[in-house]
Structure 1
Amino acid sequence: MLYDIEQLDWALNAPPEQIPAKARLIQVRGHEVLSVLPDRWQPPVLVEVADAEDPIWLGKVGGIPYYATAFRDHWLTEQTRLVNLRDLLVESESAFAVASRAAQLVTWLRQHQYCGQCGRPTTRAYEEHYLACEPCRLRFYPRIQPCIIVLVVRGDEVLLAQGVRHQHTGYYSTLAGFMEVGESVEQAVHREVFEEVGLQLKNLRYMSSQTWPFPNQLMLGFIAEYDSGDIVIEPNEIVDARWWPLDQLPKRPPSASISGWLVDTYRKERQSKGKQAR
């Protein structure tokens, strides 16, 4: 499993009437969160943060209640530090999940303070996560942008590409892109791959999903077989794309990310088939 589901215990009901004594507060600054420990991420106990106003209820992880709020500069001291969400991805899937939820909800509240139709201030609801414009009778829920991410395979080879934004890092990754309005997930997989590298696909397999708070995506992961075509990159998005043998893979994202997980999963599948064929 990409996620350790047993460790994720999101409460979808309204928050407790009183903040539990052991509740922790995730303080968000962009894609960073505050930690009170030097060697691993741990947010502070909420009741110990004196000026935390109107925190956002997140749910529970491992039985511990979590809340979130926007970061304030004076909270960063010699005893605390800021941790990037990408670092949490490697440290702990559960930590990444709850911190991602916090970052996305804090961003959503900041970006939707006013109604997009009439311009009046919105009102925050507490029984569930939405902002309301009473004059327009509109509700604005947290925004989630679905994206496809796909590993294209050809026997013991996989297609990995280097995006324009990552050309100085040396990383190669799977192909990904946003879904368009009106298309299915499968249509998005075929379209994105053809647009970015000019290949046709067959035998799509949905594998797993992952929240990706950069800023608010939900990555829907697939493995798809190569059908036809030659690699023709889209130069505005892709610097290089090529077939890589599974035993000669380039620098790539860690297995804690869905991109790295797709590659590792397929490699294990091929190794298992190789053993069975002997």
Structure 2
Amino acid sequence: MLYELGQHQIELPFRHNTPDNNGRLLLWHEGRLLCEEGNPVWSATDHPFDVDKLEFIGLLDNKPYFTGQVIQAAGTETITLRDLALVSETLFMLASRAKGLLEWRAQHQFCGQCGQKTKQIVTEFALTCEPCRLRFYPRISPCIIVLITNGDQVLLAQGERHRDRGWYSTLAGFVETGESAEQAVIREVQEEVGVKLKNIRYLNSQTWPFPNQLMLGFHAEYAGGEITPQVGEIADAAWFKLDDLPKYPPNLTIAGWLIQSYLKERQS
């Protein structure tokens, strides 16, 4: 969490009792959260929907939160997970977890090795195939995201898939099997824009459930090389002065946070 760390008490025990008057729900329909007047949190005992089996998410300020799918929700207001990030970082985190848990249940009903039906382990968020002795946990895909700087300039790029938004952003990519996060930073930057780095340091992280990333945010200094955008991946990349930045992602994203943090650092 970037901003609200310490403002709330969040606990993630494995089990909790059936929802009671103190319980809260995050409800999904066709990939969107149901809400009322922009609020996606429903009372566990006072809502108008027929909900499938509930999945326990965790405790927020001692209140248990659950999630589930709603089949019929005609005429109900909805909100996307991306839009929820503009409302509350804490709710975005809980909804991200809710989405991940529901997808984990749906995608691991059977063992990928032998095809047997999986069973819930009674002590943790894990499914198991007893014949294979395999365990299946909710998926988390670690990614690096890095702001590259050279004094009062930052290197920003526009991905081929994001040209319609008009944004330039920091570079990012998945951590490969066997890599450290720092090795992934060096490799991804070399692949995407062809420059070398020095003084790589970790700064912050953010869940980004599209579909299941955990973004690990870094700052690195330019160490040499000419910008060479990766064909088919990077539409454009360039150095931008801090007083003349292009349109970039909002501060609620870790990309925007990295840029804003460096701006404040240089201005101080």
Task: State the TM-score, normalizing by the size of structure 1.
Answer: 0.91
Amino acid at match of 1:64: K
Cα shift readout 1:103-146 (whole Å, capped 9, x = no counterpart): 11111111111101110111234532111112222211111000
Partner of 1:25 in structure 2?
25
Structure 1: distance between partners of 2:126 and 2:190? 37
1:193 equivalent in alignment to 2:189: yes
Check if 1:128 corresponds to 2:139: no
With normalisation by structure 2, the TM-score equals: 0.94
Question: What amino acid maps onto 2:176 in structure 1?
Answer: E
Structure 1 vs Structure 2: percent identity of aligned residues? 50
- For structure 2, the 5+ residue unaligned runs are none
- Please tell me whether the aligned partners of residues 118 and 127 of structure 2 are also in contact (alpha carbons under 8 angstroms): yes
Q: What is aligned with 2:9?
A: 9
1:204 matched residue in structure 2: 200
Letter in structure 1 aligned against 2:61: G
Structure 1 distance, partners of 2:221, 2:99, is 35
Contact 1:205–1:222 under 8 Å retained in 2: yes
Aligned partners of 1:9 and 1:59 also within 8 Å: no
Q: In 1, Cα distance between the equivalents of 2:169 and 2:176?
A: 22
Name the residue aligned to 1:47: 45
Once the two structures are superposed, residues 9-36 of structure 1 have per-residue CA deviations (whole angstroms, 9 ceiling, x without a partner) of: 332323233323121111234652111x
- 58 and 23 in structure 1: CA distance in 2 versus 1, 3 angstrom threshold: same
Where structure 1 has 5 or more consecutive residues not aligned to the other structure, the ranges are 273-278
Q: Does 1:104 align with 2:107?
A: no
Q: How big is the shift at 1:8?
A: 4.3
Q: 1:11-160 to 2 correspondence within 5 Å?
A: 11-29=11-29, 31-35=31-35, 37-38=36-37, 40-49=38-47, 51-72=50-71, 74=72, 76-78=73-75, 80-160=76-156
Moved more, 86-95 or 10-19: 10-19
Amino acid in structure 2 at the alignment position of 1:153: T
The equivalent position to 2:247 in structure 1, one of 247, 251, 254, is 251
23-32 or 192-201: bigger deviation: 23-32
The alignment partner of 1:147 has SS state of strand
Measured after TM superposition, the shift of residue 263 of structure 1 is: 0.1
Relative to structure 1, is the Cα distance of residues 22 and 110 closer, same or farther in structure 2, using a 3 angstrom cutoff?
same
Q: Give the residue type in structure 1 aligned to 2:56.
A: W
CA distance in 2, matches of 1:9, 1:130: 24
How many residues get paired?
267
Q: Displacement of 1:248 after TM fit? A: 1.1
Q: Structure 1: how far apart are the matches of 2:161 and 2:57? A: 32
CA distance in 2, matches of 1:152, 1:243: 9
Say whether the 8 Å CA contact 2:203–2:217 is kept in structure 1.
yes
Deviations 1:145-166 (A, max 9, x none): 0000000001011111100111
Give me the whole-angstrom Cα distance separating, in 2, the residues matched to 1:57 and 1:235. Answer: 44
